Structure 1
Amino acid sequence: MKDKTIDYILRSTWQAVARLYNEEAAKYGATMATGFALLSIDKEGGTPSTTLGPKMGMEATSLTRTLKSMEEKGLIYRKPNPSDGRGVLIFLTEHGKQKRELSKNTVLKFNETIRLNVDSEKLQHFIEVSETINELIQFKNIFNPNENNNDETNN
């Protein structure tokens, strides 16, 4: 069998993590997206709705559905943004703050388990490699024909 590609490893690992978080969230009538939103909303000052999508890496339509569901479940409420008349601030309700704490503990447990099972040096390398991949993508250095990507086919 051929070696797995880097993108395959990233995708399959993220899908496994997402499945794990969704299974855990389902026990509490939630989803991973809901938990991530709870953690992304400033628990005291609220968060502008326009910054929430980019902060979470979610498309506007998915974020809209998630926020609507969260509002229906009494986790959040919206208020006009006093510094931007067209904008809206998203705030956590008391119920939302409780669920946020649950989400936070879930993430901390995941991280603790990984740290206990992966050597700290290997974990540091993983973080460094992930940051490099993100930088290459952010600065469009993967498919840009003007850049030298160290592609072995160019040698």
Structure 2
Amino acid sequence: MDKSKSIDHQLRATWQAVAKMYNEQASKHDSTMAMAFVLLNIDYENGTPSTSLGPLMGMEPTSLSRILKSMEDKGLILREKNPEDGRSVIIKLTEFGKEKREISKGHVYQFNNKVRERLTDKEIQSFFKVTEIINKLIAEKKIYGDISSQAV
């Protein structure tokens, strides 16, 4: 199959370009795209339970733990005991973390606005429809069935 006509190749190549762009911006602020993503997913006022962050972002617990440790070392977040469940921890933004979150938010808005300047509303709706269908097919295991039982 021609790579230029392969849906998965286009998705992967585009995501790699976007990730590289975001990482270049994040590095100017002594951060990474992953850290910025975490900052954007923590509730600004109340914090977010650490157990909710991984699933919210589609991130594995070990990767998230490593990122949270680094963010804590940089003074972006702090961990507090969850008053509703003593076994879990709430991740909260520090004032510095809130400042960095606003910078990250600005970069996301800038990216979205620049892309939207080049597309019609219909093209944007089509893009979202395509990604929705892909995600639904995968979630419902309608591409390969139970992929865990098949060799890749």
Q: Distance in 1 between matches of 2:46 and 2:133?
A: 33
- Where has structure 1 moved over 4 Å in runs of 4 or more? none
TM-score normalized with structure 2 length:
0.92
The CA RMSD measured in Å over matched residues stands at: 1.2
Q: Distance in 1 between matches of 2:142 and 2:83?
A: 40
Residue segments in structure 1 that go unaligned for 5+ positions in a row: 146-155
Residue segments in structure 2 that go unaligned for 5+ positions in a row: 147-152
Q: Aligned letter for 1:39?
A: L
User: Is residue 132 from structure 1 mapped to residue 133 from structure 2 by the alignment?
Assistant: yes
Residue correspondence of structure 1 range 103-142 to structure 2 within 5 A: 103-142=104-143
User: Is residue 52 from structure 1 mapped to residue 53 from structure 2 by the alignment?
Assistant: yes
Size of the alignment, in residue pairs? 145
Task: Name which one, 1 or 2, has greater alpha-carbon Rg.
Answer: 1
Structure 1 position 141, deviation (Å): 1.1
Q: Aligned letter for 1:119?
A: T
Q: Distance in 2 between matches of 1:101 and 1:75?
A: 12
Structure 1 position 4, deviation (Å): 2.9
Residue correspondence of structure 1 range 1-155 to structure 2 within 5 A: 2=2, 3-144=4-145
TM-score normalized with structure 1 length:
0.90
Structure 1 position 57, deviation (Å): 1.1
Q: Distance in 2 between matches of 1:43 and 1:126?
A: 29
Q: Give 3-state SS (helix, strand or coil) of 1:7's partner.
A: helix
Q: Aligned letter for 1:6?
A: I
